[in-house]
């Protein structure tokens, strides 16, 4: 399924996870008897509602799915960021409970031994446990990052190296080592938690309700899709570009085969995040679907980055089912606002489409 991305929207995380895995037929990709590593993102000891870490519900559904097909030689591995304890993250994020319930061991990569690996002359210390795996399932979070703009499948592998190597990655500028690491460690399957990742920071704090889960096998394509969901072009993220150049995968999101299983019909709720609240001041919202609203918020965040948001102070933006059949002046987002003077259709319109539309005004 190299150029396929299977995505679904909603709020029932368990069902959404099972749906995308069934469609992908993950069980058929895994050789019998494989030692399977599940790599969530537990960068800090904060619950997934913070926008920083992978939901334990998604990982639980993944484990039950694998066990249904007798893929039961499993381990959950992680190394939280320098300064935080992985074991504390396992506890706070709900993974100790998963381990007990499903009898799946937790492995703290900080306590591992490492082997020096080299790609293109760059040396790095990689976890021996990770190197011993037969099949790696990466479960990153769709979220922003203050240095690399986004973080997803490629960067989540940074949890598979020693803390000493993590420091080296920063002194080498992050992008190139992240790309090279993905030549050394091949992830076999990517299941993205796009439920409520943070708008800007890998450690959370400004979660945005995005209500989506998607999966695929090409980590470069998955990260390109993550970037696009956040209003960036794939090559805006340097490590995506480098990873493509060295043959980790393809960033050709235009020609990806994107299969959408279900749309999100939940109505967007007010966000507790101060930044999201600030961005939403530019929006007139009435009964907008969560996914539609999230795409607009991501687009506004990109306009804010570029200093273009002020233009919309006197140019109201409308979104939501409550504007169906209403006619007014302003900017309409989505098919529900087709009666607004200037409108972009779609249900929901994507973040890049909204961004292009708002920039064209």
Q: Contact positions toward ligand SF4, by CB under 6 A?
A: 288-289, 292, 320-321, 334-336, 347-348
Least Å from the CB of residue 352 to ligand SF4: 16
Shortest CB 347 distance to ligand SF4, Å: 3
Hey, which bits of the chain come out as E strands? 4-9, 36-40, 74-78, 106-108, 114-119, 122-127, 135-139, 143-145, 149-151, 189-194, 212-216, 257-260, 283-285, 317-319, 328-333, 340-344
Q: Kindly state the smallest distance separating residue 235's Cβ from ligand SF4, in Å.
A: 28
Residues in Cβ contact with 59 at an 8 Å cutoff, skipping those fewer than 6 apart: 38, 40, 76, 95, 98, 139
In terms of CB distance, is 222 or 268 closer to ligand SF4?
268
Contact partners, residue 257, CB within 8 Å, separation at least 6: 3, 4, 5
The CB-of-295 to ligand SF4 minimum distance in angstroms stands at 9
Please give the DSSP secondary-structure letter assigned to residue 147. T
Query: If you search the block for the tokens 């929207």, which residue do you land on?
Result: 9
Q: Which residue is nearest to ligand SF4 (CB)?
A: 334
Q: Which is nearer to ligand SF4, 47 or 316 (CB)?
A: 316
**Minimum gap (Å) between residue 12 Cβ and ligand SF4:** 17
Q: Which is nearer to ligand SF4, 259 or 267 (CB)?
A: 267
Nearer to ligand SF4, 136 or 340 (CB): 340
Number of Cβ within 10 Å of residue 169's Cβ equals 20
d(CA 346, CA 357): 12
Q: What is the smallest separation between the CB atom of 69 and ligand SF4, expressed in angstroms? A: 34
> Minimum CB separation from ligand SF4 for residue 107, in Å?
41
- Give the shortest CB-349-to-ligand SF4 separation in angstroms: 7
Token pair in block for residue 102: 């499903």
Burial 31-62 (b: 16+ CB within 10 A, else e): eeebebbbbbbbbbbbebebbbbbbbbbbbbb
Q: How far is the CB of 131 from ligand SF4 (least distance, A)?
A: 44
Torsion of CA 285, 289, 292, 298, to 10 degrees: 70
Q: Output 335 or 342, the one with its CB closest to ligand SF4.
A: 335
> Smaller CB distance to ligand SF4: residue 28 or 269?
269
Distance of CA 151 to the CA centre of its chain: 7
Question: 336 vs 353, which CB is nearer to ligand SF4?
Answer: 336
Distance CA 267, CA 257 (A): 28
Residue 221 or 340: which CB sits closer to ligand SF4? 340
Return the number of the residue (76 or 288) whose C-beta is nearest ligand SF4.
288
Q: Please, which residues have CB within 8 angstroms of residue 153's CB and are 6 or more apart in sequence?
A: 138, 140, 187, 190, 192, 219, 222, 223, 226
């Amino acid at each position: 399924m190299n150029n396929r991305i299977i995505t679904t929207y909603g709020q029932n995380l368990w069902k959404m996870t099972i749906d995308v895995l069934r469609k992908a037929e993950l069980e058929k990709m895994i050789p019998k008897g494989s030692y399977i590593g599940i790599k969530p993102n537990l960068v800090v000891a904060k619950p997934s509602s913070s926008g920083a870490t992978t939901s334990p519900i998604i990982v639980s559904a993944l484990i039950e799915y694998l066990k249904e097909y007798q893929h039961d030689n499993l381990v959950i591995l992680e190394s939280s960021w320098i300064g935080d304890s992985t074991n504390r993250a396992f506890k706070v994020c709900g993974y100790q409970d998963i381990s007990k319930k499903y009898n799946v061991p937790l492995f703290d990569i900080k306590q591992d031994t490492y082997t020096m690996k080299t790609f293109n002359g760059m040396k790095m210390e990689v976890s021996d446990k990770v190197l011993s795996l037969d099949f790696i399932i990466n479960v990153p979070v769709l979220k922003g990052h203050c240095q690399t703009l986004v973080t997803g499948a490629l960067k989540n592998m940074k949890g598979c190296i020693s803390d000493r190597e993590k420091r080296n990655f920063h002194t080498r500028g992050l992008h190139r080592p992240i790309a090279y690491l993905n030549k050394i460690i091949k992830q076999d399957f990517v299941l993205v938690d796009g439920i409520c990742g943070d708008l800007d920071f890998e450690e959370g704090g400004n979660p945005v309700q995005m209500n989506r889960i998607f999966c695929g096998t090409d980590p470069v394509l998955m990260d390109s899709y993550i970037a696009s969901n956040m209003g960036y072009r794939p090559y805006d993220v340097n490590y995506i570009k480098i990873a493509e150049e060295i043959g980790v995968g393809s960033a050709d999101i235009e020609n990806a085969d994107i299969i959408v299983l279900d749309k999100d019909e939940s109505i967007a709720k007010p966000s507790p995040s101060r930044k999201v609240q600030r961005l939403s001041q530019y929006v007139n919202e009435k009964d907008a679907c969560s996914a539609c609203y999230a795409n607009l918020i991501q687009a506004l965040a990109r306009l804010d980055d570029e200093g273009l948001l002020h233009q919309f102070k006197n140019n109201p933006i409308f979104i939501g089912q409550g504007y169906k059949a209403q006619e007014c002046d302003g900017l309409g987002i989505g098919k529900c606002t087709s009666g607004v003077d200037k409108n972009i259709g779609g249900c929901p319109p994507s973040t890049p489409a909204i961004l292009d539309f708002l920039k064209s005004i």
